[in-house]
Chains A and B, each alone.
Chain A
């Protein structure tokens, strides 16, 4: 233990480094390194309280920007907030030079190995790599042999986890070569840090990160086939359930690429196409975040639902480039680390500048025996990562477990490695208002761009939450940090915009909205509108309920019952109030609360809010910052309010008002910030269809049957409130409240944005404007349907609609019109899905199950 000479109230005087462990602030010396001292002094002058405030502010920003990290197997609480510690890792410019050149060299080496393994296989033929090491790694994909295309470099993106050992040297812990994640998180961390510690950041000269992303873009353009100048680049994601989905969406938005899932792409004529609303559009480069073996169900894993059948064929023909190429996960084989020094000499005639952590591959008899003899002091890892395959610390095993491991190694030695157990360096971290040492791992990012590899000057630093813990990962709940590489002079800001050459005219990109995104937009519209309709109805019900309670008027009560039954209709939560005993409807509290709160019941507010959020999250990349904030706001505030265990009827009105405010904010933002292109048409079509359906549902349930006069007046008034039309009605028709007038306003008045006529008219316009291969002069099926609905409505008159059938007291014509319009709307919705959401078409694998024989 050693005490710090700095005295401040952050608690650095209690900063207790551990004997034998390298600490970043001290670097094995007695005194704190000068640049750390400056930084800590700045923190010190800020004070504990202030620092804690800044930390919270950082958390708030991250949360609002929707920075999340999904944890596998946790579908209930899918997104976990990203945690950022405001104390960064500082790296001096002298040291950075070493790290940078080491990473470049390593990327270069791995690139050559990749090229050889899938090309000439000289390394195998010369005995520089044993075939067992290559072939028994699941990352070696047989179909990819010979599939690498003519590119200067094949390993476009590379990432390594580094840690500092006790001697102060940086070690590479592992190599990430297939679809490295983290660069987006690093960028977001930086963005937040510059906002919460602007003063310190300004005083410290820190290298900027944006240059790296510019290089990434250039690197991706470089590999585009046929030297296309302005290639279409897409990011292929496994979808919103993936752990780093936030980053996929974030990078897509930041770099201006289309975010796609496998179903959004198709292979035709040996080329890759994006299925967009306006037809197929050629794709040149895929930035891949799907594991390679899942990328093509025809050539690779047939059970994969994340890939594109025929993708590898398109690669072989040189029609698409993938970063990183399919098969590159073979480089993530940890056994390779044992061979890198030799391969560095073979390929580069040089020694490794950044050593790997000492690794013994058990596929060689001497190494195997060594590992078996030293099980207690080594970490044993299977070469294939995967379910149930993880690293074990030999020393922490029981003797029984150790015996099992030993026999596993002996049975298939080539599948295991032993690694030295290294204690990583510590660095200061803000933990519970105190600065404490924590073990850290640094992830760096490298990209091939132009003639060289380029390293992001910075990276993603992560520390374990617990003390003395060497397992530092996000799945295990680690905390992230920004990484500040100190510059000798200030960096100039780099803009991501490319400068057009003089007089070059740039074509505006047509809106490449994928059909999946269109589908989600449509449902964002529908779910939100449904939420709004239910909220409005419920607010009116609660007011009425209160009146019944206070005045005990029988008409109030009858009206309340009509509204409650309507609620069941609108939410589709049968039998609800429609078939129930008297007590159930007299004391509706339980059912009302359930309709607000239940997560697992279809039609409840919570279920609708969840569905809205899921659909919006699936297209995270399409929303503007502000819009996303409002999405997040709706979901989070609702969650906070209703997760209260003893939710009572009395609390509901304020919760519902709050929800309405959120909805209105989203609606306002979207209508102000979205261009009137395909995205908007989809979102608003969903909204209009749902609004029309909800309106019809309310009207049918409240007004289709005749009520006696006093009740009728009450019901009509309630309907006007529910549809937000009371003020307009009063202004227009003064004090008379009559069924024909109400119907005139709510059904036929196409100037009233809440009327049925308005919804249908908008739908007519939207559907007509959707891109589609039309025959001249011919309407599409969905256009015909919606036109019919529109026309039917316009052809009816209020007098006819309000003719009551004296036998059963039903407004026959009205009921018919409503029922027909509902059918037409549902059919329209289905046709839209069929025509535009083609990704929903499922694929099937056709293979003869057994090779039957007759003998």
Chain B
């Protein structure tokens, strides 16, 4: 499936801005499910400084600065992307239980996990009796130990997505909500499916309720939010059980109602989450639509949470009040 995405952001200031610096994650990244053929910026007034790089998570980042006085800034990115509907149905029947996954994520296999302990110049008693426990651990994972280093690195990489991140901190409340989905010995895929469906059912989509600053705990308490909140919520639930989950920002194709023509620019940024399942890799889930993304989701960037992948942020000097308007158009080409 091929798409052309046109994403425009317009800043309108009440007073002149002398200098603004910006960081954008607005160009779709390439990965096995997606190929970006082209992606380019159109910025007015044109920036004096423009630089592209790849960030920690492999996302495409653009730094640009407008160094002359302006009262309007228009940032447009036009990208053409092919989505391969490869997320295969078979993955959905993967039977690895969530407990197994947690175990894999908790174990260091490249070297033993006791690094540091025996190093202590401690005057205290050393601990050698608990050796047996860790031995049983290493047995259970012996099958994975033989896997390639690449697989080891993949798991190593996944482990950081179990940890708290700036906007998602696990708590007893999150764990409490998630518990219903985490039935013992349930396959992780089923757990996530169930969790996604529950969020879809239990939570009301309400753009007036939250802002970016609304803490997760309030979203949970009032059962309202937008796609970003639902993604964060799911990530928090999964992490509270030791599962690696990350945040994905992107777009989704919207279909016109039957009989109506497609409205240009009516689309919007979207967000969902992804879960790491050993041997399969990262699988996407969209709790706002209760769907596993297939060929209508276009990925921009991923990270631990929204703060890692903010599509466009900037610092402006001067400017007084500003208004901001965004339009996104996702056009199916073929």
Contacts and interface: CB of A to CB of B under 8 A. Distances in A.
Contacts of A359: 120
B30 interface: no
Contact of A845 (B65, B116, B266, B315): B315
Contacts of B63: 310, 313
A851 B228 contact: yes
B49 A268 contact: yes
Contacts of A313: 21, 51, 63
A367 interface: yes
Given A143-B56, A342-B115, A854-B267, A358 B227 contact: no
B266 A854 contact: yes
Interface string A262-277: 0000111110000000
A131 interface: yes
Interface in A796-855: 841-855
A847 B211 CA distance: 12
B173 interface: no
Interface string B67-84: 100000000000000000
Contact of B269 (A132, A309, A851): A851
Contacts of A341: 116, 119, 121
Interface in B298-334: 306, 308, 310-319, 322, 324, 326
B144 to A, nearest CB: 14
A135 interface: yes
A854 B322 contact: no
Contacts of A846: 11, 20, 22, 313-316, 322, 324
A391 to B, nearest CB: 18
Contact of B134 (A266, A340, A366, A844): A366
B160 interface: yes
B309 to A, nearest CB: 10
B94 interface: no
Nearest to B254: A854
* Secondary structure of the B contact surface, majority rule: mixed
A364 B117 contact: yes
Contacts of B314: 298, 845-847
B146 interface: no
A317 interface: yes
A106 to B, nearest CB: 14
A143 B127 CA distance: 39
Contacts of A374: 124
B252 interface: yes
Interface in B1-37: 9, 11, 18-23
Contact of B133 (A129, A269, A365): A365
Contacts of A420: 122-124
A690 B205 CA distance: 60
Contacts of A342: 115-116, 119
A855 B288 CA distance: 8
Given A269-B48, A841-B18, A365 B115 contact: no
Contacts of B267: 854
Contacts of B115: 127-130, 339, 342, 364
Given A127-B110, A142-B308, A841-B317, A850 B226 contact: yes
A573 interface: no
Contacts, number: 200
B252 to A, nearest CB: 7
Contact of B121 (A269, A358, A855): A358
A316 interface: yes
- Chain A interface category by residue count: 35 or more
B227 A309 contact: no
A16 interface: no
A414 B105 CA distance: 14
Interface string B286-298: 0011000000000
Nearest to B109: A127
Contacts of A125: 110, 153, 156
Nearest to B121: A355
Interface string A350-380: 0000010011110011110110001001000
Given A367-B116, A849-B212, A298 B322 contact: no
A851 B268 contact: yes
B116 A855 contact: no
Contact of A849 (B9, B211, B266, B322): B211
A614 interface: no
Contact of B117 (A338, A849, A852): A338
B203 to A, nearest CB: 14
A414 B49 CA distance: 41
A716 to B, nearest CB: 49
Given A358-B122, A360-B117, A853-B268, A848 B249 contact: no
Contacts of A136: 163-164
B123 to A, nearest CB: 7
Nearest to B207: A852
A412 interface: yes
A302 B313 CA distance: 9
Contact of B163 (A128, A132, A298): A132
B130 interface: yes
A851 B134 contact: no
B249 A845 contact: no
Interface string B86-113: 0000000000000000000000111111
B271 interface: yes
7 contacts: A143-B56, A364-B113, A365-B113, A365-B134, A412-B164, A852-B268, A853-B288
Interface of B: 9, 11, 18-23, 48-49, 51, 53, 55-57, 63, 65, 67, 108-117, 119-124, 127, 130, 133-134, 153, 156, 159-160, 162-164, 170, 172, 207, 210-212, 226-228, 249, 252, 254, 266-271, 288-289, 306, 308, 310-319, 322, 324, 326
Given A846-B316, A853-B271, 15 more contacts: A126-B111, A127-B112, A132-B160, A267-B65, A269-B49, A269-B67, A298-B315, A358-B122, A359-B120, A360-B117, A365-B113, A845-B313, A845-B315, A847-B212, A851-B249
Interface of A: 124-132, 135-136, 142-143, 145-146, 266-270, 297-299, 302, 309-310, 313, 316-317, 338-342, 355, 358-361, 364-367, 369-370, 374, 377, 411-412, 414, 420, 841-855
